[in-house]
Amino acid sequence: MEALTSVFNGINWEAIVQLTLVAMIMISGPIVIFVLAFRGGDL
């Protein structure tokens, strides 16, 4: 059990969260463009 907690403590959670948020922002741009094109340019 101690090895498991040391693995979780060794993970840099802040970096993982930041990379996840950046990935979501980068993916959302093309999704918005695709939705606009699909709906004919109307929000």
Q: What is the pTM of this model?
A: 0.60
Q: What distance in Å separates the CA atoms of residue 9 and residue 3, rounded to the nearest whole number?
A: 10
What is the pLDDT at residue 1?
Answer: 65
Distance, CA of 41 to CA of 35 (rounded, Å): 8
Instruction: Supply the DSSP string of 2-39, one letter for each residue.
Output: HHHHHHHHHS-HHHHHHHHHHHHHHHHHHHHHHHHHHT
In terms of pLDDT, which residue wins out, 17 or 11?
17
pLDDT digits (tens, 9 = 90+) for 27-43: 999 999 999 999 887 76
Amino acid at 12: N
Q: Looking at the predicted structure, is the pLDDT value of residue 7 above 80?
A: no
d(Cα 28, Cα 17) in Å, to the nearest integer? 16
Please tell me the predicted confidence (pLDDT) of residue 21. 97
Question: So what's the pLDDT on residue 10?
Answer: 82
pLDDT of residue 20: 97
